[in-house]
């Protein structure tokens, strides 16, 4: 009789990398379905194209770089989904494909694949699209335009506020029948997914809480409406699904606070003082760059040693 030899420990808990990716995708399901409900078939096609191109790109890159095929870990599909959820529903199809390919190649594979990228790949893809196709990326579809209602385009609540001082009701922001990226408009659906991730122990509350909290506090300080700034734009999607990306966020508790607060400060500065209506993407990408430094300077005090 032969027995298996392997090093201790001999028992493990039930979390795994594909499992984590899968749970995050499940958590995004409400917002995904919401996006399709508000923006129609077009949104569904964009999501499908983005996911498929991400997975195909990952596979091709694996082969070209002579690495193990990693499409089954779910991370490429997740990147594709996240990218689709943060682009305009009016985006031409080929553009989302470009964005997705860019996200996987530049955002992830060239750094060394899963676990080695510095920046959130989906946001890298989005930043590329914002730079390459600025007009398309800021042309928004009115919700339910597919049902043939009169208005076809509609500004996002943040743009309406910034450029024409128009307010949007909290109810609409919570429900999601406003202009915006496919997956960012419905706060209720995003919160549902976020709370699911928190209760499943997948994401840590510190990043989301400090990020949202900082935005709220600073909005008050600068005389803006904190509730509006929490509910509008991509903040909820960013706070629960982008800023919390394991690979590109700090691993220490203290580091998470720094990361969240830093990103929150950046969002408020961009939203209130720059030419752009929205700053979630840049706030997270910018803080991503600080993560190695944050991790280094927030090292926990080792047991039995002086701080």
Partner 1 sequence: MKTFAKGIHPEYCKDRTKNSKIVELAIPLKVIIPLHQNLGASCEPLVKVGDEVSEGQKIGETSKFVSAPVHASISGKVTRIEKLPHPCGVNVLSVVIEAHNVQCPISNVQLKKFDDIDPEEIRQSVKEAGIVGLGGAAFPTHVKLSPPKDKKIDTILVNGCECEPYITADHRIMLERAEDVVKGAKLVAKACNAGRIIFGVEENKKDATKALREVLRHEPEEGIYDGMEVITLETKYPQGGEKMLIKAMLEREVPSGGLPLDVGVVVANVGSCVAISEAVFKGIPLTKRVVTVTGSGIREPKNLLVRIGTTFKEIVDQCGGLTDDAYKVIMGGPMMGVAQYTLEVPVVKATSCILVLAKKDVKEEKVYPCIKCGRCARSCPMSLVPTRLAAYANAAKFSDFDEWGGQDCMECGCCVYVCPAKIPIVQLVKLGKLKLRQMK
For the chain, the residue count is 307
Angle at CA 129, nearest 5°, toward 128 and 130? 90
SS percent in the chain: helix, strand, coil, step 5: 65, 0, 35
Q: Please give the Cα distance from 104 to 95 (Å, whole number).
A: 14
Contacting residues for 213 by C-beta, under 8 A, at least 6 apart:
260, 264
Closest CA to 168 of 40, 137, 191, 176: 176
Q: Smallest gap, in angstroms, from Cβ of residue 298 to partner 1?
A: 10
Q: How far is the CB of 283 from partner 1 (least distance, A)?
A: 20
In the complex, which residues of this chain contact partner 1 (CB under 8 A)? 1-13, 15-20, 73, 75, 113-116, 204, 246-253, 295, 299-305
**DSSP run (H or E) holding 77:** helix 75-85
In angstroms, give the least distance from the CB of 294 to partner 1.
12
Residues 115, 235: Cα–Cα separation, whole Å? 24
Contact status, residue 299 vs residue 252, Cβ threshold 8 Å: yes
Q: At closest approach, how far in Å is the CB of 289 from partner 1?
A: 15
**Cβ of residue 291: shortest distance to partner 1, in angstroms?**
8
Smaller CB distance to partner 1: residue 57 or 204? Answer: 204
Q: For residue 266, which of 245, 277, 280, 254 has the smallest C-alpha distance?
A: 280
Q: How far is the CB of 201 from partner 1 (least distance, A)?
A: 9
Closest contact distance (angstroms) between CB of 122 and partner 1 is 15
Q: CA 117, 123, 129: angle at the middle one, nearest 5? A: 125
- Largest separation between any pair of C-alpha atoms in the chain: 78
């Amino acid at each position: 009789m032969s027995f298996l030899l392997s090093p201790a420990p001999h028992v493990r808990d039930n979390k795994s990398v594909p499992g984590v990716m899968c749970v995050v995708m499940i958590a995004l399901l409400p917002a995904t379905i919401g996006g399709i409900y508000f923006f129609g078939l077009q949104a569904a096609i964009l999501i499908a194209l983005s996911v498929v191109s991400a997975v195909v790109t990952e596979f091709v890159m694996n082969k070209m770089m002579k690495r193990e095929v990693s499409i089954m870990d779910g991370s490429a599909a997740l990147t594709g989904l996240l990218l689709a959820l943060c682009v305009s529903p009016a985006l031409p199809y080929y553009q989302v494909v470009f964005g997705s390919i860019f996200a996987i190649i530049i955002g992830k594979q060239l750094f060394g694949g899963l676990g080695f990228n510095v920046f959130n790949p989906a946001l890298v893809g989005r930043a590329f699209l914002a730079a390459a196709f600025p007009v398309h990326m800021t042309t928004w579809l009115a919700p339910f335009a597919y049902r043939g209602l009169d208005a076809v385009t509609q500004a996002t609540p943040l743009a309406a506020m910034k450029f024409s001082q128009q307010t949007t009701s909290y109810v609409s922001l919570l429900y999601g029948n406003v202009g915006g990226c496919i997956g960012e408009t419905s706060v209720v659906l995003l919160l549902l997914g976020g709370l699911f991730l928190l209760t499943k122990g997948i994401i840590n509350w510190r990043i989301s809480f400090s990020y949202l909290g900082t935005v709220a506090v600073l909005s008050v300080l600068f005389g803006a409406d904190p509730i509006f700034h929490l509910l509008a734009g991509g903040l909820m999607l960013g706070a629960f699904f982008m800023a919390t990306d394991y690979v590109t966020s700090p691993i220490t508790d203290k580091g998470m606070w720094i990361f969240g607060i830093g990103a929150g400060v950046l969002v408020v500065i961009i939203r209130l003082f720059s030419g752009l209506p929205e700053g979630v993407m840049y706030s997270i990408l910018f803080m991503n760059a600080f993560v190695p430094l944050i991790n280094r300077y927030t090292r926990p005090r080792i047991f039995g040693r002086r701080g």
